Amino acid sequence: MSIRNIPTTPFSDQKPGTSGLRKKVRVFQQAHYLENFVQAIFDSIAAPKGATLVLGGDGRYYNQTAIQTILKMAAANGFGKVLVGRGGILSTPAASCVIRKHKTFGGIILSASHNPGGADGDFGIKYNSSNGGPATETVTEAIYAKSKTLGSYRILEAEDVSLYKFGSTLLGNMQVEVIDPVSDYAELMESLFDFTAIRALFASGFRIKFDAMHAVNGPYAQEILEHRLGAAPGSVMNALPLEDFGGGHPDPNLTYAHELVEIMYDEDDAPDFGAASDGDGDRNMILGNHFFVTPSDSLALLAANATLIPGYKQGLAGVARSMPTSAAVDRVAQALNIPCYETPTGWKFFGNLMDAGKVTLCGEESFGTGSSHVREKDGLWAVLFWLNIIAVRKQSVELIVREHWAKYGRNFYSRYDYEGLPTEAANGVMQHLRASFATLGGTQFGRYTVKTCDDFSYTDPVDKSISTAQGVRIIFSDGSRIVFRLSGTGTEGATLRVYLEAFEADEEHHHLDAQVALKDLIDIALQISELRQRTGREQPTVIT
């Protein structure tokens, strides 16, 4: 075995987005492309010689090939040990758990989250720091800067390592330890939740359907829900992780998890509880019998019921939400007299708050919820949290949500995604909106009057870093708002997201469908943005 120093030239497109570097598989398959980015990571993080790294991914196409390359590069760059999930599998929250439990220097996670997989699909890579969370903007900027000047990368000439046999093998001078990808995570979940109460819930005849969408959470859900908690065999559907996610789109929403939605809205035989998770296991969708829970409501409800859960019975230090997420959790925080932080989109912003002890729960409207147990959002954790609440309260999902609305009011909320837009057209919409700030203030649209509009910026209360241009907000005098934001998770074209929110205190109106309640705001959003005219897109790709 020998270490080779391979000459290379930089790529100009390796700037990490909200959750690492995501591109089409064919881009990563270019000669030196993956290697350049991995070397840029290693050159930027200043790991001491002999450091331990965690490595794994969501099992999508190219996952195992990339892992073999990264292992050989880690050995050539002086790492002493790599913990890798069996078969190259580690859900994103499980990777965070392993980093934290084993106190490793950090980890590399291979995932494009909820993006499609397969040879023609997407691939992604990101670095997580020693706290288990995504690298800060300072680190990602350093990685990007290095990627633009890189002249060579180091790699060990060696045979591939078996990823299916538990235990340690030597790769050069580095230990490669293949670990059970589920056990550490399952142990953590058992320490947080009342598994005895949830077992009793299932024993009483309570029925669940969990859609793993042929993604990474299948083995986790089967082990925890079926084997440890006693849910009926078959409660986990699409449980086998596949490189192309079975040809599906592993995004747990009403559009892409349509198979689960049909089951939960069956006229004659709907289960009591439904849930889905995404490609890398960090997102969740919650459904009751004929009832959908918005992610914003879910976050608020978890906060309101946290003390029912053993791991949170002492209460919450605070809560945080991304700016586009509805203010439903703000009302809970106010009632509990705890702080509520509004951050840009991206889990790395929550990590600083959790490390500083400022928040316990956090969430984003894009079906991501989590807590300080790890430093990533966590899909299966949210499902267990809901099941624990139901086991204690002994009420249906719908009744729990409606009682919450009755107490706190309802934030009608929806998100319109326009995917695959020409980048120039999407940027044009945002530029037009920013140019309209001077004239929009005080403008009346039917019963809505614009109070203020801005481009959201954030000063981190912990490290004082400043993030600008995080989304255009149009806020009305009654507190309703429209938010426009370009997503940082796509790989082709641009995804423009439009968020709509209106608060309703009157319980008599809580039964309204969100699209009906928000119709006027939807029309205003299209009028102000000139979205249809500028993009040529008449309808959104996804409505949630």
Burial of 516 (0-12, 13-18, 19+ CB in 10 A): exposed
Burial of 28 (0-12, 13-18, 19+ CB in 10 A): buried
Q: In angstroms, what is the C-alpha Rg of the chain?
A: 23
Return phi, psi of residue 400, to 5°: -60, -45
Coil, strand, or helix at residue 307? helix
Residue 509 DSSP symbol? G
113, 235, 277, 414: which is the annotated catalytic residue?
Answer: 113
Of 286, 463, 290, give the one whose Cα is nearest residue 369: 286
Distance CA 178, CA 237 (A): 27
Helix (H) or strand (E) holding 133: none
* Residue 113 bears catalytic tag: yes
Distance CA 93, CA 495 (A): 25
CA distance to 8, 94, 153, 475, per residue, from 158 (Å): 20, 28, 16, 59
Of 320, 326, 337, give the one whose Cα is nearest residue 293: 326
Helix (H) or strand (E) holding 479: none
Burial of 438 (0-12, 13-18, 19+ CB in 10 A): exposed
Neighbours of 237 (CB within 10 A): 18
Burial of 80 (0-12, 13-18, 19+ CB in 10 A): middle
Distance CA 37, CA 24 (A): 15
Write out 333-351 in H/E/C secondary structure.
HHHHCCCEEEECCCCHHHH
Coil, strand, or helix at residue 441? coil
Neighbours of 69 (CB within 10 A): 15
CA distance to 35, 50, 80, per residue, from 75 (Å): 13, 10, 7
Phi-psi region of 280 (alpha: psi -120 to 50; beta: other; left: phi over 0): alpha
CA distance to 383, 439, 478, 503, 535, per residue, from 469 (Å): 33, 19, 24, 25, 21
Residues marked as catalytic:
113
